[in-house]
Amino acid sequence: MNLFRIVAPALLLSSLVAPLQPAAMAAPVEEDEPVQAAPALEDDRDAETPDSRPASEDGDADGDTVRSDPAPATVPGSVDYWLQETRDNPKSYAAHYNLGLAYAGRERWEDAIDAYRQAVEKSPEDKSELAWAYLAMGIAYGNMKRPQDEIASFRQATEADPEYDKAWFNLGNAYIKQKNYSAAVRAYQEVVKRNPDDPRMVEDAWYNMAVANQLLGRPAEAIPAYRKVVDAQPEDAQAWYQLGIAQGNAKQYANEIESYRRAIKLNEYLPGVFQRLGTAYAQTGKWDQALWAYKQALYRTRDQNDPDVWFNIGATYLKLGKTKEGLYALRQTRRLDPADAEAGKILNTLQNANSGVVIRSVILRSPRGSR
């Protein structure tokens, strides 16, 4: 699951993240030809676009949590209209830039890139215009699955205008797609450092930064970043959930439980949240509460056919000394997953024993595909 929030809201960030959220791109405006940016579109929540939010979630870290390439803003007028504008005004940055947007709106990415390059040549001194063109170029390269050119273009945008927060945000998203999480964290740090006017972009940058740190195995760095998100948006169930996962990885089990409970109050159907809550209770020796949470996890699955939840229920019953109930749950695990060797081994041990057996070293299972 992609956790990153890609469209302001990646990102990922969830799976870990979000789903990365791309930032929006401002289009140049001429006095007689105003340009209106259309809303960005979302793809698979793994890429970035101008003026949108990164991983929604979406991008990682259920547990993975962190959010894909929205299409750039479109402009009024057809490709033919802007082609004529470039003929009538061959030195106009806006004409070539808007021609690129028109091509991009039709997914003619090579033509869009050529138009953006022409725009760069027409405006070598204006740092904002250069940054806009390089950002748009990076988005086009991303849609063409040319990651190195995508990253290079976003970097050129940040070099042309180091204060252009949207360029930094999209650069972070591009690094996420290449699993270069350390570089992504540095790019998102530039976003929050510049404190853009768009608070949602700041929150998404913190969120994606947190997911990236989780994927790097750095829960201590992820926790304060998630805190920034939930402090700004206390109704963000996914952020509370991801915060709990990071706290669990840091062995802060009491805080982990509290974060999951906050997430559940907001959305009790978050995939995997009750299963993780059960394991957090088990880590603190609260086996009755763990059993309750695992049963809640089971009842909230569509068909009650999750073998890992059944396994955790069986292991918890055994820890509570309820062998009969534990056997039943473990048989359900084997029925749903005949290849589950661990469940089979425990069943054989119990069935061959003359009396109840206390299971001491079973490792409880997290939701599949999560961190």
pLDDT at 19: 24
pLDDT at 122: 87
**pLDDT tens digits, one per residue of 316-344:** 999 999 999 999 999 999 999 999 999 99
Query: Do residues 333 and 340 touch, judged by C-beta distance below 8 A?
Result: yes
Distance CA 99, CA 341 (A): 60
**Could you name the CATH architecture of 5-232?**
Alpha Horseshoe (1.25)
Angle, CA of 298, 301 and 305, to the nearest 5°: 70
Minimal CA–CA distance to 8: which of 186, 184, 206?
A: 206
Distance CA 367, CA 348 (A): 25
On the question of a common fold for 5-232 and 295-371, the answer reads yes
Q: Break the chain into its structural domains and give their ranges.
A: 5-232, 295-371
Minimal CA–CA distance to 205: which of 188, 222, 221?
A: 188
> What is the residue whose two structure tokens read 């402090």?
231
Helix spans in the chain (H): 79-88, 93-105, 109-122, 127-143, 147-160, 165-177, 181-194, 199-215, 219-232, 237-249, 253-266, 273-283, 287-299, 307-319, 323-336, 341-352
Supply 188's token pair.
């998102």
pLDDT at 14: 23
pLDDT at 172: 97
295-371 topology per CATH: 1.25.40
pLDDT at 348: 87
DSSP structural state of residue 58 = B
Residue by residue, pLDDT tens for the chain (371 residues) are: 566 756 432 222 222 222 233 333 434 434 333 333 333 323 333 333 333 333 333 334 444 443 333 334 444 568 999 999 999 999 999 999 999 999 999 999 999 999 999 999 987 678 999 999 999 999 999 999 999 999 999 999 999 999 999 999 999 999 999 999 999 999 999 999 987 778 889 999 999 999 999 999 999 999 999 999 999 999 999 999 999 999 999 999 999 999 999 999 999 999 999 999 999 999 999 999 999 999 999 888 766 889 999 999 999 999 999 999 999 999 999 999 999 999 998 888 887 765 454 444 567 778 875 55
Supply 208's token pair.
């994606």
Distance CA 25, CA 351 (A): 65
Largest CA distance in the chain: 93
Supply 317's token pair.
């019953």
Query: Do residues 364 and 315 touch, judged by C-beta distance below 8 A?
Result: yes
> Model-level pTM?
0.77
**pLDDT tens digits, one per residue of 160-184:** 999 999 999 999 999 999 999 999 9
pLDDT at 276: 95
